[in-house]
Amino acid sequence: MGTPLETPEEQAAEVVDRLEAEYPDSTISLRYSNRLELLIAVILSAQCTDERVNSETEHLFEKYDGPEAYAAVSEEELAEDLSSITYYNSKAGYIKSTCETILEEHDGEVPDTMDELTELSGVGRKTANVVLQHGHDVVEGIVVDTHVQRLSRRLGLTEEERPEAIERELMELVPEEYWQGFTHLCIDHGRATCTARSPDCGDCVLADICPSERGDGDVDLASGEPW
């Protein structure tokens, strides 16, 4: 197992430095051309790969060109258009309801505050953070998806399990100017190397400072289970 740096703050800073060097072009992988498309793409991405979402939204965004179109279509037809997405029936309902609210309460515009976004159907803090960061250039938190959750626990940055608690702890450790980039660095590294089931610790730039490193480590701190 690796040896973390002396303080969590030092550990977080070193993680950011190394991952920035490894993934210099790290950014959001969802494709969109406006705030509504971003919001819909993020809603669809829950428990679904970005690759699948991008494939689905390519035709979705051609068919529906604004909140009026989503609000007018039947939920059944919208669900059919999303049939390759996980939980497509529920997500169709979220999107239709969200667009109705955007029309009725926000003059057809995607709102720009955490409180207003999280009042929309199917929008939690994670989704709202993504929309604020990439749609409104407002960074007030860290997006905690499954990759961020897994890596931050494996690297000893947190012992929390719930995304909201992990976010609060990371916001104390990660410098604010890196809050947005931290998520994408974790996603890139989680996809390329630090995967959920079989992380490639032998080819990991963080192995020497990772307390979960499999060389002689016994436990995956992300799950708490033995390797």
CA angle, residues 33, 39, 45, in degrees to nearest 5: 105
Query: What would the DSSP string read from start to end of the chain?
Result: -----SSHHHHHHHHHHHHHHH-TT-------SSHHHHHHHHHHTTTS-HHHHHHHHHHHHHH--SHHHHHHS-HHHHHHHTTTSTTHHHHHHHHHHHHHHHHHHSTTS---SHHHHHTSTT--HHHHHHHHHHHS----S----HHHHHHHHHTTS----SHHHHHHHHHHHS-GGGHHHHHHHHHHHHHHTS-SSS--GGG-TTGGG-TT-TTT--EETTTTEE-
Q: Give the residue carrying structure tokens 């159907």.
A: 121
Active-site annotation holder among 50, 81, 112, 145? 145
Q: Give the residue carrying structure tokens 């035709």.
A: 59
Tens-digit pLDDT profile for residues 159-212: 999 999 999 999 999 999 999 999 999 999 999 999 999 999 999 999 999 999
Q: Identify whether 126 is a catalytic site residue.
A: yes
Active-site annotation holder among 126, 203, 216, 220? 126
Tens-digit pLDDT profile for residues 66-109: 999 999 999 999 999 999 999 999 999 999 999 999 999 999 99
* Confidence bin at 117 (pLDDT 50/70/90): very high
Q: Identify whether 145 is a catalytic site residue.
A: yes
